[in-house]
Amino acid sequence: MKFSSILRYAFLGIFNAGSVYLIPLIITFESWFLLSVLIFIMFLINFTYLTDKFAALKWITPGVIFMFSFVVFPAAYNTYVSFTNWSTGHILTKTQAIDLLEARTYTPEDQRGVEFDIYIFEDDNQEYYFGADLNENEFLFGKAVSQDLIKEATFARHEPSLKNSSGEIVPPEGFKLLLGKDQINLANKLQELSLVIDTSTRAQLYKISVFGSSTGRLLSTSQRYSYDSDNDILYDNSTNATCSSDGDNFLCNGESVDPGWRVFVGSENYKKLFSNQRIRGPLELVTKWTFQFATLTVFLAFSVGLLLSITLNKEKLKFKRLYRALYILPYAIPAFVSVLVWKGLLNPDYGVINTWLDPFYTFFDIEPIKWLKTKESARAAVLLVNTWLGFPYMFLITTGALQSIPKELTEAAKVDGATGVQSFWRITFPLLMVSISPLLIGSFAFNFNNFTLIFLLSGGGPPVIGSEVAVGWTDILISFSYRLAISGGRGNLFGLASSVTIIIFGIVLLISALSFRYTKRLERIYGNI
């Protein structure tokens, strides 16, 4: 057998074994979508490597699978999410939400109150066990569990041996009896725990007594909500209310029951972005700054880069190589490190930048700048740091472009009597722009989504006071979206956040289309094909 065949069968064997192992796992969770994806991939891989029909597939299939699963599919899914109400309180599907609601219990009024002595034991693992001295015939003992584990807990069993004939409690082997004062220290924790007696009854710690034995209480629980799937109605058994669905929540007596569920809401999110003033305002502000930031930052970095490449574009200039090597350095450092360092330099109280500016502040008798704390200083800081991060790239590309411009052109202009400045603006600069502008557009698109810089340097802040959603003066669209979805502190608005990324997507598409058109880059790509 040839080496390539051995390789092929070994790979197929491992791949199929892994997939077959996953199938039952996925079936347990009834995730039919994932199952069909897996079966499709299995089919594709086996088809590709067992037949000799399509030779090219053998080379591209693995890469294509990854690209589709983790780039193309998420992009499509992102579009879907932007048409849903997916957010805190609307995370689950309707079935999941109903399951959760039906699992909720309550204690009817007439079932409260049977009281008895309760003893608390602690084992070596700091887990707690309750002993409930219900009556002469029943001394129940078992592990005390928290609310969400009640369903899985085993029932308490009758353990008469824990109480000897004189009425003293004898802890079982490996357990110690908690004294009243220990119970008080642990009160918060202990009161969350229940001893499960049967499916509808449990015992809880009710009152802690320091000297005598503590008091427990029996709670008889009933199912709180029942769902009628024929009429799509939820009954609240505790209040006898009938709750109808309003689309993504059940409404009981006018109040919505949490959790709701996620549904397709059509263009609701986009309507919110464009017409709800409390969201539209921040969006406009952020969009405007995103364009300003991307434009200014490209302009500043390009200006510095060009200035330096012109300065060094001189024969017989000493130390030219040294200058070049040093200018590259900011580009060589990962941005997440540079930003952290700059945050230190810019620190308003202790940073070196305000130390330098100190004489200036004293001379003009002005307040020191609170870097990153005010709108203007934060915006200036973001631009300053990004100029530092970006000028080496601009320096590199302008140097390359300058060197490729034939000297004869400027020399001819000189002969015709043009000054250096004239020949630069009339000849060198336009020629430079021809080769540089696609790269400038690329840089614009990159900075349009420069999340790392904005989020790590200013966090998007300082916050815009009085805004409904979390938004700051230096937020760009992508960091705005991130705050809506992940870290805004006002819940996770996944649906709204992904509709913002769809807007970014549209803008980037537009920019790319323009740049393709402008530079006819597509032609080159077609040529390459």
Q: Which of 116, 327, 371, 480 binds other proteins (CB under 8 A)?
A: 327
Nearer to other proteins, 130 or 482 (CB): 482
User: Which run of H or of E encompasses 120?
Assistant: strand 115-122
CB 492, min distance to other proteins, A: 9
Q: Please, what is the Cα angle at 153 between 149 and 159, to 5 degrees?
A: 140
Nearer to other proteins, 76 or 187 (CB): 76
CB 222, min distance to other proteins, A: 29
Strand pairing class (115-122; 214-220): antiparallel
Q: In this structure, are residues 492 and 81 in contact, taking their beta carbons and an 8 Å threshold? A: no
Phi-psi region of 372 (alpha: psi -120 to 50; beta: other; left: phi over 0): left
Nearer to other proteins, 249 or 297 (CB): 297
Nearer to other proteins, 143 or 320 (CB): 320
CB 479, min distance to other proteins, A: 9
Place of tokens 């390459």: 528
Supply 501's token pair. 């990324």
Nearer to other proteins, 326 or 412 (CB): 326
Q: Which of 1, 329, 415, 465 binds other proteins (CB under 8 A)?
A: 329
Nearest to 294 by CA among 494, 464, 480, 454: 454
Q: Which of 89, 171, 368, 438 binds other proteins (CB under 8 A)?
A: 438
Q: Does 307 bind other proteins (CB under 8 A)?
A: yes
CB 284, min distance to other proteins, A: 21
Supply 383's token pair. 């631009």
Alpha helices in 255-334 (DSSP H): 268-275, 277-312, 320-332
Q: Which of 242, 347, 374, 467 binds other proteins (CB under 8 A)?
A: 347
Helix (H, G, I), strand (E, B) or coil at 181: helix
CB 467, min distance to other proteins, A: 21
Beta strands in 175-229, from DSSP E residues, in sequence order: 176-177, 194-198, 201-207, 214-220, 222-223, 225-228
Q: Does 429 bind other proteins (CB under 8 A)?
A: no
220 - beta bridge partners?
201
Q: Which of 17, 20, 25, 179 binds other proteins (CB under 8 A)?
A: 25
Per CB under 8 A, contacts with other proteins among 87-126 are none
Q: In this structure, are residues 473 and 379 in contact, taking their beta carbons and an 8 Å threshold? A: yes
Amino acid at the residue 171: P
Nearer to other proteins, 155 or 336 (CB): 336
Per DSSP, the residues of 390-453 read HHHHHHHHHHHHHHTS-HHHHHHHHHTT--HHHHIIIIIHHHHHHHHHHHHHHHHHHHHT-HHH
Burial of 349 (0-12, 13-18, 19+ CB in 10 A): exposed
Cβ neighbours for 49, distance < 8 A, ≥ 6 positions apart: 8, 11, 12, 58
Q: How many CB atoms lie within 10 A of CB 433?
A: 11
String marking each residue 216-255 x if it binds other proteins according to CB under 8 A: ----------------------------------------
Binding window for other proteins (CB under 8 A); candidates: 178-186, 224-232, 283-291, 314-322: 314-322
Binding window for other proteins (CB under 8 A); candidates: 180-188, 220-228, 304-312, 374-382: 304-312
String marking each residue 483-502 x if it binds other proteins according to CB under 8 A: --xx-------x--xx--x-
How many residues touch other proteins under the rule CB under 8 A: the total is 104
Q: Which of 83, 86, 121, 480 binds other proteins (CB under 8 A)?
A: 86
Rounded to an integer, what distance in angstroms lies between the CA atom of residue 56 and that of residue 48? 9
Nearer to other proteins, 471 or 497 (CB): 497
Q: In this structure, are residues 495 and 91 in contact, taking their beta carbons and an 8 Å threshold? A: no
Nearer to other proteins, 194 or 481 (CB): 481
Supply 300's token pair. 């500043």
String marking each residue 260-279 x if it binds other proteins according to CB under 8 A: --------------------
Per CB under 8 A, contacts with other proteins among 194-213 are none
Nearest to 81 by CA among 374, 512, 499: 499
Q: Does 317 bind other proteins (CB under 8 A)?
A: yes
Q: Does 397 bind other proteins (CB under 8 A)?
A: yes
Q: In this structure, are residues 468 and 491 in contact, taking their beta carbons and an 8 Å threshold? A: no
Q: Which of 13, 172, 344, 463 binds other proteins (CB under 8 A)?
A: 344
Q: Backbone phi, then psi, for 231, in 5-degree steps?
A: -105, 0
User: Which run of H or of E encompasses 236?
Assistant: strand 233-236
CB 296, min distance to other proteins, A: 15
Nearer to other proteins, 350 or 364 (CB): 350
CA-CA-CA-CA dihedral for 145, 147, 149, 155, to nearest 10: 50
Q: Which of 311, 404, 422, 437 binds other proteins (CB under 8 A)?
A: 311
CB 274, min distance to other proteins, A: 19
1 DSSP assignment: -
Per CB under 8 A, contacts with other proteins among 442-461 are 442-443, 446, 449, 451-452, 455-456
String marking each residue 39-78 x if it binds other proteins according to CB under 8 A: ---------------xxx-xxx-xxx-xxxxxxxxxx-xx
Q: Does 433 bind other proteins (CB under 8 A)?
A: no
Nearer to other proteins, 30 or 230 (CB): 30
